[in-house]
Amino acid sequence: MPAKPEPGNRLSAYPWREIVINCHVCNRHAQVAKERLLKTYGDLALADLALRIAADRSCPRAKAEGYCGARMLTAGVETWACLEEAMHGGWIAMLHCNRHIEALKRGSACRKPFELYVPTLVALLGWDFPLARLPYKVTCPGCGSRSFFIEWHVPERGAGALAGPR
């Protein structure tokens, strides 16, 4: 996954709309809109931001010791993006068939993954269709199964290149 949040980078340099904060010490995980964080905390370095958020969400360590395991992580694109981002970013969707784990059904999974052609998805579902809902709209092209997962390949690009038309 590209756009990996570097702890030293400022939040404004992070290209996606949503970012994850995760702390393995206090066992917290939250996905937050970047705009909201910018408004609340300003444009901090990601490492400092993670600590501030952890302290605000009452992580005892972050409060008392100024340290906890909080880190900013990339939010999976399928959790927040729409077909628009996929189209503009040249993302590739691969459907991996999982038929073999379907309960009570024999037969093996389709061996090769199928590419779901993004412009066709846009033509059928519209720009603003959320990637998260795609699994409810498609079936495996090889066998018709609804057991599959969709993997998104996001090409590496600079943050500037991602500012598509809005």
94 binds Zn ion (CB under 5 A): no
Q: How far is CA 141 from CA 99, 111, 137, in A?
A: 12, 12, 12
* Beta-carbon count within 10 A of 154 CB: 20
| Spatial separation of the C-alpha atoms in residues 95 and 138, rounded to whole Å | 10
Q: Does 55 bind Zn ion (CB under 5 A)?
A: no
Residue 53 in contact with Zn ion, rule: CB under 5 A: no
Query: Encoding tokens for residue 142?
Result: 């090889």
Amino acid of residue 80:
W
Q: Binding segment for Zn ion among 13-21, 39-47, 71-79, 96-104 (CB under 5 A)?
A: 96-104
- Among residues 49, 77, 134, 145, the one that binds Zn ion under rule CB under 5 A: 145
Question: Minimum distance from CB of 158 to Zn ion (Å)?
Answer: 31
Site for Zn ion in 6-25 (CB under 5 A): 23, 25
Hey, CA dihedral for 81, 83, 85, 90, is it positive or negative? positive
In the set 110, 121, 134, 154, which binds Zn ion (CB under 5 A)?
110
Instruction: Give the angle 107-132-122 at the CA atoms, nearest 5°.
Output: 95
Q: In the complex, what is the shortest distance from the CB of residue 96 to Zn ion, in angstroms, rounded to a whole number?
A: 9
Q: Does 26 contact Zn ion by CB under 5 A?
A: yes
The distance of closest approach from Cβ of residue 69 to Zn ion in the complex, given in angstroms and rounded to an integer, is 6
Q: With contact defined as beta carbons under 8 Å apart, do 158 and 86 qualify?
A: no
By CB under 5 A, is residue 142 in contact with Zn ion?
A: yes
d(Cα 56, Cα 59) in Å, to the nearest integer? Answer: 7
Question: CB under 5 A: which stretch of 9-17, 65-73, 74-82, 86-94 binds Zn ion?
Answer: 65-73
Q: Which residues bind Zn ion (CB under 5 A)?
A: 23, 25-26, 54, 59, 68, 70, 97, 99, 110, 140, 142-143, 145
